[in-house]
Structure 1
Amino acid sequence: MFRKGRSKVEVKTPAQIDLMRAAGRVVAATLDTLRAEIRPGMTSLELDRIAEDSIRSAGAVPSFKGYHGFTGSICVSVNEEVVHGIPSQSTEFRDGDLVSIDCGAILDGWHGDSAITVAIGGGTEAERVAMSVCEEAMWRGIAEMRPGKRLGDIGHAIETYIHSQGDFGNVEEFGGHGIGTQMHMEPHVLNHGKAGKGIKLREGMCLAIEPMVTMGTEVVVQLDDGWTVVTQDGAKSTHFEHSVAITADGPRVLTARAENRQRISELGFVDSGW
């Protein structure tokens, strides 16, 4: 299952990728539920409880809960919070908030991991543009996930697109990762890089691709809680993520939601198996 070499990169069989898609469906359904349920006046802890109920009712287990002591089933990052926001009864959503929701689930020993950003109340035009840039940067990175390409091609595609769209921050301290029998595995997937550099991508590798785009500086700091990462200048942030398998015919998005179907078709990716 592991690639030989200095770093162990898990390589999956088609049957194992199907199992990962099953875990990914749980994550996708949970994110759909959370998008529908989130509203002003709700706390992030209430949203977390809805997420845990959704995951467990599908026969899965939340990946995040208990992970190195993390207390939530999801990460809920609001406005200037970039990633790893801890669900709390004291965090109450308000109209105008940008909320990034990162969700992971384990089903039959396989992990799915995905994130979306939701603008409560619809957001401003500038916020909607930032969200669109972040999500499209993710798709541009996923498009590089083909056998024979290099890991650096993914980060280069993400970085190049973000910088082409205006004065947005591309958070470099955090990035994507391998995924499979564990949530975080080799390799680390940077959201920046040089085309043609890094390990060669091969069929059966599965990676989580997750750009984080801010509406200001890309410089971030970690809060004293040991988890929450915020923008240094207080600018709002966006975050999108999908878990993806590399197949002989191209990328297969394992955490695809129904709303992604048209985009996946437009990009010529492998059918996710709806």
Structure 2
Amino acid sequence: MVEFKTASEVEAMRAAGQVVAQALKAAKERAAVGVSLAELDEAAATVIAEAGAKPAFLHYHPGFAPTPFPAVICASVNDVIVHGIPGGYRLRDGDVLGIDCGAYLDGWAGDSAITLIVGTPRPRDVELIEVAERALAAGIAAAVPGNRMGDIGHAIATTAEGYGLPPDFGGHGIGRRMHEDPAVPNRGRSGRGMVLRPGLTLAIEPMLVIGGDGRYYPAADGWALHSVSGQRAAHVEHTIAITDTLPRILTTL
């Protein structure tokens, strides 16, 4: 069931989104050559705890996963598209790192993701991240009253043309729960799908793979999704609210 939020509920989600943004900022600032992914997880966990919030990913157990998620952030390196478990891996020069974080504050959820390059950037990786961020911006810009859900997916896919978009994974509704209805596709047909209305809150999250092949396979842990091609991936995300005019991003500082 799709739930529409009041103005005060959107403000509460904005507060949760601020915690997520601060946690991502802390993890990004900690990311450097030689630093372990577990250290990034600790940095984000500290921010969330100090804000009086609760991590949304820790112990989360969706149907596709064999075990609950064991960490506060997802940390996805190079060919891992999403859902990487932060462990002992130490970052290397030139790694592409995606960090996804969610938190609950006063019963409301926020969800956001960034992708960055550790150390020396490669031009192709810089372009990958830039296109992913433009695709996210295009999807958000399409989230206005009177448009339809397919307009968001169409905007993302059009902007990301030439890159792989993994099937079966995309954005989602968000509110009292991290994942709510409706699903938000990263591919869509303009003018099709649910009509967008003020009060709808969504997590929009393009996932791009270099080379036009979005196929993936799960790691042995059942969580991380690797690109079949072995090419690098980027994942970016914001929680937004549809208003009477322009969409409002709830996960920026």
TM over 0.5: yes
Report the count of equivalent residues. 246
The residue that corresponds to 2:12 in the other structure is 19
Cα distance in 1 for residues equivalent to 2:120 and 2:113: 18
Query: Post-superposition shift, 1:172?
Result: 2.5
Who is 2:35 aligned against? 42
> Given the alignment of the two structures, is residue 77 of structure 1 paired with residue 76 of structure 2, yes or no?
yes
Equivalent position of 1:267 in the other structure? none
Say if 2:164 is the partner of 1:159.
Answer: no
Alpha-carbon distance between aligned partners in 2 of 1:122 and 1:134, rounded to the nearest angstrom: 19
Identity %: 46
Do residues 103 (structure 1) and 96 (structure 2) align? no
The separation in 2 between residues aligned to 1:190 and 1:154, in whole angstroms, is 7
| Number of the residue aligned with 1:168 | 163
* Contact map agreement 1:142 1:154 (CA 8 A) in 2: yes
Q: Which residue of 1 aligns with 2:224?
A: 228
Task: Give deviations 1:97-122, integer Å, cap 9, x for gaps.
Answer: 00000000100000000000010014
Superposed counterparts of 1:240-251, under 5 Å: 240-251=236-247
Residue in structure 1 matching 2:50, options 52, 57, 68: 57
> What one-letter code is carried by the residue in structure 2 that aligns with 1:88?
G
Letter of the 1:21 counterpart: R
| Structure 1 counterpart of 2:238, one-letter code | H
1-structure distance, mates of 2:119, 2:39: 19
Divergent runs of 4+, >6 A = none
Shift of 1:148: 1.2
Q: Which amino acid aligns with 2:5?
A: K
Q: TM-score, normalised by structure 2?
A: 0.95
CA RMSD of aligned residues (A): 0.9
Q: Which of 176, 184, 205 is the equivalent residue of 2:179?
A: 184
Equivalent position of 1:213 in the other structure? 208
Q: Output the TM-score relative to the length of structure 1.
A: 0.88
- Name stretches of at least 5 consecutive residues in structure 1 with no aligned partner: 1-7, 258-274
| Equivalent residue number for residue 148 of structure 2 | 150
Residue 64 of structure 2 is matched in structure 1 by: none
What residue is the counterpart of 1:254 in the other structure?
250
> Contact 1:171 / 1:211 at 8 angstroms: preserved in 2?
no
The code of the aligned residue for 2:131 comes to: V
Match of 1:260?
none
Distance between the aligned counterparts of 1:152 and 1:13, measured in 2? Answer: 24
Amino acid of the structure 2 residue aligned with 1:44: L
Match of 2:60 among 34, 43, 67: 67
Please say if residues 172 and 190 of structure 1, whose CA atoms lie closer than 8 Å, have aligned partners that are also in contact.
Answer: no
Structure-2 residue corresponding to 1:116: 114
Residues of 1 paired with 2:116 and 2:110: CA distance? 20
Q: Tell me the CA shift for residue 60 of structure 1.
A: 0.5
**SS of residue matched to 2:22:** helix
Structure 1 counterpart of 2:90: 92
Inter-partner Cα distance in structure 2 for 1:30 and 1:225: 25
